[in-house]
Amino acid sequence: MPVKELGALHSVGKGIARIDADEKVRGKAQYADDLHVPGAWYGYVVRSPVSHGRLSGLRMDSDFDWSQVVVVTPEDIPGNNIVDMMGRDMPFIAHAEIQYLGEPVALVAAPTRHLACVAGSHIHPDIEEFPPLLTLQEMVAQYKEDPSKLHELSAQTIRKGDADKAVNEADIVMEREYSAGHQEQLYIEPQGMVAVPESDGTMFVHGSMQCPYYINPELCETLDIPPEKLRVKQSAVGGAFGGKEEFPTLLAGYCALLALKAKRPVKIIYDRNQDILFSTKRHPSWSRYRVGLNKDGTIQGIRCEFLLDGGAYTTLSPVVMYRGILHSAMGYRCDNVSIDGHVYRTNTFPNGAFRGFGAPQALWAWESMIDELAEACGMTPHEFRLKNCLHEGDATPTGGLLRDSVGSPEVLEKTLERCNFGEKFKQCSHGRRGEKKWYGIGLSFFAHGSGFTGDGEARIKAKAALDLEPGDNGKPVVNVRISSTEMGQGTCTIMPQVVADAMSIDVRHAYYPMPDTFKVPDSGPTVASRTAMVVGSTVFGAGRKMKADLEAFASEALFEGQPVTLDQDRFRGSYGDKEMSFEEVAAEYLARKGPLRVYDQFQLPDFIKWNQNTFEGDAYPAYSWGCNVAELEVDTLTFEIKVTKVTAYYDIGRLLNPVLAKGQIEGGLVQALGYAMMEKIEVKDGKYDADRMQTYVIPTTLDIPEMDLHFVEYPWEHAQPGAKGVGEIPMDGLAPAIANALVQATGIRMRDLPITPERLFQMMQEEKTA
Amino acid sequence: MNKVKRTWNINGERREAEIPPVRRFLDVLREDLNLKGSKEGCGEGECGACTVIVDGEAVLSCMLPAGQVPDNAEVTTVEGLEKTPGGRLLQAAYAEKGAAQCGFCIPGMIVSSYAMLSRDPDMDPDRIREAHAGNICRCTGYEKIVEAIQSAAEQWPAEAKG
């Protein structure tokens, strides 16, 4: 493997069992609704019944006994009625404009959940209704007719070379449009939060979340308290996938505002119906390409428009769109690229973070387009990709240099070889008659930027701390103090593995407690495939410092001044036979000097340059790479589409824990399968039509194809442990691979997600009539 | 509302409850008896996170009026698994194979596994998938769950049968 040696690691790379597995299989993990909060009341959100309008007031039924509940309206908010995310356009509680159905107009708390709901039903908002803009389809139609009539939430361009000229001068010009609908994260644990007002004026927020340091500081302005008076702690999180990235700030705000007025703890646990109706979704997207090719298959120029349906407010949509445009022409060589990204307002719940964060939408379109381009110049999909894919030393669409850690083209070549793609491609059914099932095989190839987009990591400067302190059993423990959360992906296990290698101690001495902003520094949010790479390397740095500190202590206090090395859990002097275990030396340290805390901070390598205004340079510190092949069968009678096998290779840098890494890929691919073929949710009269688990259908054990999954390791070379991103990349490539396979099975090109048997039937009928 | 008195044998312990008969068994377990292991993921019998065993049958406790759980019923929830050899075997296999990620579906999933293997430990992956189609997991893609159950099935203790 063409990898520069980073240094051998012992704990990293082992598939040790999850450290939290025991409490989870025994039913002991404490999720938000399991927290014991004495005296807590239940919160309820009173919502707008219309999608767009002007709120003139609230009517409260006079025959209801209001003394038994607490009601919060905008007048009760101590600070500014603003949710301070990327835009400052969203209020916590609507006070004038209504921008979506379900927008909060008042909050209620009561001793029981039932009473809170009943009280809420006695509050009636008076709203003058305006016509809403509700769907991606309406938004795109308006964009084509006159975009100036849309409310733009964000826009960004990428320019490299002269794309228009290059496309116009090319031998072949192809123009295509693709779109994709909403996707619900559908974590199995619904959103839940508790706010506890403490006697010293501290507001303690505890619950299901990805990013404790989003809630603090975002809530401080609203509650009008300094950051040191807002304590945020994560409970066990029953899945998140982006759905608990920015949304929990809203829930925390509702609970905290009610708790302030009620002067007692308030909890809100959404039921599934509320959760689907009134939380974020993956942004619906629309991509239009105009691409110029030479007859030999060289890509001359790429012109792309990438639109996201932002929902009602800005929230995080600009960054989702940035990641979208950065992946819209990624993966292949081309000197002339022009991309325009836009996010427009629609009158639905604000769309938000979901695993992949714009990249799955972009790659759905781009990897479908690649197959269409291959066909246009008479090449097979694999030949076209092998010819054009990026190699080490090539430039990305923003002119960033792929210096090192580049798993392309190896992941592509290995996947093709593993599944015998070339041979199977010739056996596809399209064009044959008389088969009972149509067979197709399809391919996708992609990169996913690891770490925060653009200037994010330079801005965040992730911090990590390690605390050497007495553990629950009295023995010394190294606690990992980071704000990166455990939400199922394995943070609580990989971080002790990283510490073990940084310090050369046994992994059982390191532990990851749930983040609590009163105890952890800001390591940035748990998003953007950044935890293993960025925070992992910062934890490694902190581990090295703690090792040096303990070696210095041992030398001076225990080894009579001789140089001491901590190696594989043993302190050894450089002469003589004296040895002490880590536990002995750590206990001595604690007894003589008390707890030890060390910090480290993430430093981007100097050569990573990025211009946030022009979108030129290195958009990400590194890329993970992947290739998916989908094989499927179509029932010629029912048009049922069954994905039978997925073959994939990934380069996610160094594998910190192969079992957990594979679990991320398997789970992500199955979410991608749902996105591609099952998860259909539309806005009808302003409301999501699939608002329960009965109607929003995700894959079960019976929907899972055979999965043949492999890794190649191209570690990130600039910091131990050399991981790149793994969380999001499994979401990226399966939908286009399936669409590409479907073309080979049926001749039908699906350009809208999800791909359903009904839609296939309809398109085959249309083709017949045509 | 009228209340009914029930005495159940939950995880080998005698537990009493006086409850409105239509109160969901899940709420009785979680709120009245403080057995918070069983989870609510959907409240309509779709996700399986609330699965418990009543007299040998895996049931969805969010769909079950507590009054319908008869007196002296034998109830097993996730908290009771560690008291049985088969339960401990399943817990170890789930942990070792990486079958739990976020863990929220696991109380229901592993209780379904226990009910299924107690009845018939002779399971191949297809039958395991069939028997767990009512337990939704959003994290794992089910591969490691099926592996874990298969591994437990292969070592299923003879005394745990029946």
Total number of domains in chain B: 2
ipTM given for this complex: 0.98
**CATH number of the domain within which B142 lies:** 1.10.150.120
Whether residue A767 has pLDDT greater than 90: no
pLDDT at A454: 86
Q: Mark whether B44 and B86 lie in a shared domain.
A: no
> Looking at the structure, do residues B64 and B11 belong to the same domain, yes or no?
yes
User: Residue A1: pLDDT above 60?
Assistant: no
Flag whether pLDDT at B70 surpasses 70.
yes
Burial of A38 (0-12, 13-18, 19+ CB in 10 A): exposed
Residues of A in contact with B141 (CB under 8 A): 663, 666-670, 699, 704, 707
Instruction: Tell the residue number behind the tokens 């305006």, with chain if given.
Output: A130
Residues of A in contact with B136 (CB under 8 A): 188, 693, 698, 700
| pLDDT digit string, tens, across residues B26-39 | 999 999 999 999 99
A583 within 8 A of A577, measured Cβ to Cβ? no
- The identity of residue A289, as a single letter, is Y
The pLDDT-based confidence of A10 (bands split at 50, 70, 90) is: confident
- Cβ B103–A238 below 8 Å, yes or no? yes
Q: Which domain holds residue B30?
A: 4-78
Mean pLDDT of A207-213: 97
Residue A155: pLDDT band by 50, 70, 90 thresholds?
very high
Confidence class for position A7, pLDDT limits 50, 70, 90: low
Q: What is the pLDDT of residue A455?
A: 87
Residues B67 and B137 in one domain: no
CB A539 within 8 A of CB A499: yes
As a whole number, the mean pLDDT across chain A is: 96
Q: Summarize pLDDT for A328-377 with one digit per residue, the tens.
A: 999 999 999 999 999 999 999 999 999 999 999 999 999 999 999 999 99
Of B47, B78, B109, which residue sits at a domain end?
B78
**A190/B142 Cβ within 8 A:** no
The domain boundary, picked from B25, B45, B78, lies at B78
The amino acid occupying position A112 is T
Task: Find which of B101, B116, B129 to mutate to test the A interface (most A CBs within 10 Å of its CB).
Answer: B101
DSSP A524-540: --S-TT-IIIIIHHHHH
pLDDT at B131: 96
Burial level of A599, CB count in 10 A (0-12/13-18/19+)?
middle
N- to C-terminal Cα distance for chain B? 39
Rounded average pLDDT over A704-725: 96
Beta bridge partners of B54: B57, B75
Identify the pLDDT of residue B159: 67
Q: Give the pLDDT confidence of A231-287 residue by residue, as tens digits.
A: 999 999 999 999 999 999 999 999 999 999 999 999 999 999 999 999 999 999 999
Mean pLDDT of A87-115: 97
**Chain A residues with CB-CB distance to B26 below 8 A:** none
CA A229 from chain center: how many Å? 29
Query: What is the predicted pLDDT for the residue at B162?
Result: 44
Among B41, B58, B78, the domain-final residue is B78
Segment A275-300, tens digit of pLDDT: 999 999 999 999 999 999 999 999 99
The pair of structure tokens assigned to A329 is 């022409």
Residue range A526-530: mean pLDDT, rounded: 95
List all residues of chain B from 97 to 116 with a beta carbon under 8 Å from chain A. Answer: 97-98, 100-107, 110
Contacting residues of A for B81, CB less than 8 Å apart: 26
Render pLDDT for B96-125 as a digit per residue (tens, 0 to 9): 999 999 999 999 999 999 999 999 999 999
Tell me which chain A residues have a C-beta less than 8 angstroms from the C-beta of B39: 31, 33, 188-189, 238
Give the model confidence (pLDDT) of A538-557 as tens digits: 999 999 999 999 999 999 99
pLDDT confidence tier of residue A6, bands split at 50, 70 and 90: low
For B37, the closest of A27, A662, A663 (CB atoms) is A27
pLDDT value for A283: 98
Please tell me what DSSP assigns to residue A685.
Answer: T
Given a cut of 60, whether residue B8 has pLDDT beyond it is yes
Q: For an interface test with A, give the residue of B39, B78, B138, B144 to mutate (most A CBs within 10 A).
A: B138
| Residue numbers of B between 51 and 70 with CB closer than 8 Å to A | none
Q: Are B84 and B153 part of one and the same domain?
A: yes
Average pLDDT over residues A729-751: 97
Question: Contact A331/A402 with Cβ under 8 angstroms?
Answer: no
Q: Does A474 touch chain B (CB under 8 A)?
A: no
CA distance A479 to A467: 5
Same domain, B53 and B108: no
Q: Does residue B36 sit in the same domain as residue B67? A: yes
CB-based contacts of A731, cutoff 8 Å, min separation 6? A355, A356, A359, A360, A668, A671, A672, A675
Report whether pLDDT(A462) > 50. Answer: yes
Nearest neighbour of B47 by CB, restricted to A188, A240, A671: A188
CB atoms within 10 A of CB A376: 17
Given a cut of 90, whether residue A643 has pLDDT beyond it is yes
Which tokens in the block code for residue A107? 């909050």
Q: Which chain A residue's Cα is nearest to B113?
A: A25
Residue B84 and residue B38 share a domain: no
Residue B15 belongs to a domain with what CATH number? 3.10.20.30
Tokens encoding A254:
């509702």
User: B46 and B71 in one domain?
Assistant: yes
Q: A149: burial class by Cβ within 10 Å (0-12, 13-18, 19+)?
A: exposed
Domains in chain A: ranges and CATH = 21-29+462-601 (3.30.365.10), 34-131+189-270 (3.90.1170.50), 285-454+611-769 (3.30.365.10)
Asked whether the beta carbons of A338 and A302 are under 8 A apart, the reply is: yes
Tell me what pLDDT residue B161 has. Answer: 53
A669 touches chain B (CB under 8 A): yes
User: How high is the pLDDT of residue B1?
Assistant: 67
Q: What is the pLDDT of residue A4?
A: 46
Element (H, E) at A579: strand A579-581
pLDDT of residue A2: 35
Judge if B84 and B154 occupy the same domain.
Answer: yes
Question: pLDDT confidence of A5, banded at 50, 70, 90?
Answer: low
Q: Are residues B23 and B70 in the same domain?
A: yes
Q: Do B145 and B95 fall within a single domain? A: yes
Window 120-149 of B: residues touching A by CB (8 A cutoff) are: 128-130, 132-146
- The reply to whether B130 and B97 lie within a common domain is yes
Distance CA B157, CA B90 (A): 11
pLDDT reported for residue A728: 98
Q: Which residues of chain B are within 8 Å of residue A648 when distances are taken between CB atoms?
A: none
- Select from A746, A729, A653 the least CA-distant residue to A445: A729
Statement: residue A511 has pLDDT above 70: yes
Which pLDDT tens digit goes with each residue over A573-594? 999 889 999 999 999 999 999 9
Give the residue-averaged pLDDT of A426-442: 88
Longest dimension (CA), chain A: 92
